Structure 1
Amino acid sequence: MIILFLLATFGNIQAQIVDKKNLIEKNAELKKIEGGFSFTEGPAVSRLGDVYFTDQPNNRIMKWSFFTGETEVFLENAGRSNGMFFDKSGNLIACADMDNQIWSIDEEGNKTILIESYQGKKLNGPNDLFITPTGEMYITDPLYKRDYWTRDPESQQDGEHLYFLSANRLQFMPVDENLVRPNGIVGTPDGKNLYVSDPGANKIYKYDIIEDGYLSNREIYLERGSDGMTIDFRGNIYVTGEDGVKIYNKKSEEIGHIPIPEKWTANVTFAGPDRKTLFITASESVYKIRMKVYGTY
């Protein structure tokens, strides 16, 4: 009976998928890769197309192999990592929420702390990040209070900001201090534009990236928030939340919807060597679906 229920559930999900611009491969099905996690987040794709993601409450980073389809533990005691992204050197950059740091993790699992404070005070709790083609990094720093923190509240930042870290790792500064609670973030592959979700304001903003990491021309891209986000080569933005994955074009028009049978869909990225497998982290499970379009990261 349980198997029949699951088949009926996925059949219903398939019927609800909306694809107005033929973004999804013909006859592609949403497939559950693995379940049994506490809360999945932070998918980051390696050069080979494998995906590393976090099981945040269990304080570990998992690795899913595109070629074998198997999932294994990559790193225990992972600093309660949340959002992640690979840099050009193949290091996994992680928002290590335990001590409000940014880590660089090599392929052996050895970590280097890149950022642990700003002007002598801890960050609130780095949540997600994006690295431009030239190596600059943008980091969202909302304040979601954790029961494992023991710090003095006075030691944290005076607001929930968006930060910039230069490619040489020498300059670290806020580049937008007028956000309520920034979260998901992604940029265009040409390094010219940045999208930042602010669920606290129920908005997603678009910026122009200008000289020395500064941002200009902030405008509202969508009147909705998002947890994690990704982008395809056409410039369509994939957003997440309680309604699965929704897809919007450059004009902010909704052109697709992939419902996910979980309470919350946290994040999404493109996987595989061809970057045509959409990999989705959602509550206690991770999913995939084949696409016609390819991602850029």
Structure 2
Amino acid sequence: MSFFEIHDPAFGRFVLGNAPVKQLASGFDWVEGPVWFGDAGCLLFSDIPNNRILRYTPGAGISTYRAPSNYANGHTRDRQGRLVSCEHGTRRVTRTEMNGAITVIADSYQGKLLNSPNDVVVKSDGSIWFTDPHYGIGSNYEGFAAEQELPCYVYRVDPDGTIEAVLTDFNCPNGLAFSPDESVLYVADTGRMYHDDPHHIRSFSMASGRPQQSRMFHSISTGKADGIRCDTEGNLWSSAGDGVHCIAPDGHLMGKILVPERVSNICFGGRAKHQLFITATTSLYAITLNRVGAQTP
């Protein structure tokens, strides 16, 4: 069985012919938001409809990290190693302190409630960037059905707590990632609920410290881009309807990792950040690559 599609010969160096796509656990409803904790040797990820954050520990399997989770979706770590989470149920972004206390990073903008924060990254200057589509308030499946008070924006929160809508022309911004040198911001647009909207990823120059010079970076051929991550050489890895797509820095498709379920999100982890963890509909998967993830810490 082949786990790969090679569209650029260079992709053959990124994958290992004897490294399979392994299903690590299954039986969930809709899993999302994987984040690797190297210092704890575990992966956290969300099972959104079941209102819980789960922990996968190699050799030990699945356990519950937090339940209820306020229908948490995407996660990352800040520069101090703390968990930063997007919560659909409370319509907010939070940080889990080292003592377990929860700090609210953002829950409103200009006096109106956020929609349902979806994915989040932290830049090296400590600023927190997150997307706010309306998926979590569109029904009671991944949160609570509620009125939408704000358009679907991309936000930046400064270390002093100042919040700014930095991108305001998306249908529904979803996954986001910085290039390894933070000179480029990538944002996926998955479109409005129940509509056949964009399948693309846009890129922005960060030369001024704010995203500018928007361009259409890549259009996903099967399904839509959701979660995205970069490796250390600047290749962008994106979730898709048929697996994970690897996209070169110039925007061309290099290859695919084929997964039997629709992929929602990904992250690099493992002892050398050379494993790609994949959340896909009802299951958690992983594959070992000849690549290293760029995210820190």
2:278 match: 280
2:90 match: 99
**Residue 202 of structure 1, CA deviation:** 2.5
Please say if residues 3 and 259 of structure 2, whose CA atoms lie closer than 8 Å, have aligned partners that are also in contact.
Answer: no
2:216 match: 220
1:146 match: 139
1:28 aligns with 2:28: no
Q: TM-score, normalised by structure 1?
A: 0.88
* CA 1:26–1:57: 2 relative to 1, 3 Å: same
Count of residues in correspondence between the two structures: 277
Secondary structure of 1:183 counterpart = strand
Distance 2:64 2:100 in 1: 11
Please say if residues 92 and 104 of structure 2, whose CA atoms lie closer than 8 Å, have aligned partners that are also in contact.
Answer: yes
**Residue 184 of structure 1, CA deviation:** 0.9
Distance 2:60 2:275 in 1: 12
1:114 match: 105
Please say if residues 205 and 218 of structure 1, whose CA atoms lie closer than 8 Å, have aligned partners that are also in contact.
Answer: yes
* CA 1:63–1:253: 2 relative to 1, 3 Å: same
Which among 159, 169, 172 is matched to residue 178 of structure 1? Answer: 169
**Residue 251 of structure 1, CA deviation:** 1.6
Distance 1:187 1:175 in 2: 15
Map Cα deviations across residues 17-62 of structure 1 (whole Å, 9 max, x no partner).
Answer: 1244211134111111011111110011224352110011111111
Distance 1:254 1:112 in 2: 40
CA RMSD of aligned residues (A): 1.7
* CA 1:220–1:16: 2 relative to 1, 3 Å: same
**Residue 196 of structure 1, CA deviation:** 0.1
1:292 match: 290
**Residue 238 of structure 1, CA deviation:** 0.9
Please say if residues 91 and 105 of structure 1, whose CA atoms lie closer than 8 Å, have aligned partners that are also in contact.
Answer: yes
Please say if residues 25 and 284 of structure 2, whose CA atoms lie closer than 8 Å, have aligned partners that are also in contact.
Answer: yes
Secondary structure of 1:57 counterpart = helix
Q: TM-score, normalised by structure 2?
A: 0.88
1:205 aligns with 2:202: yes
* CA 1:209–1:254: 2 relative to 1, 3 Å: same
Letter in 2 for 1:216: Q
Moved runs in structure 1, 4+ residues, more than 6 A?
none
1:45 match: 36
Structure 2 counterparts to residues 117-136 of structure 1, below 5 A: 117-136=108-127
1:63 aligns with 2:26: no
2:228 match: 229
2:245 match: 246
**Residue 72 of structure 1, CA deviation:** 1.2
**Residue 240 of structure 1, CA deviation:** 1.1
2:194 match: none
Letter in 2 for 1:293: R
The unaligned stretches of length 5 or more in structure 2 are 192-197
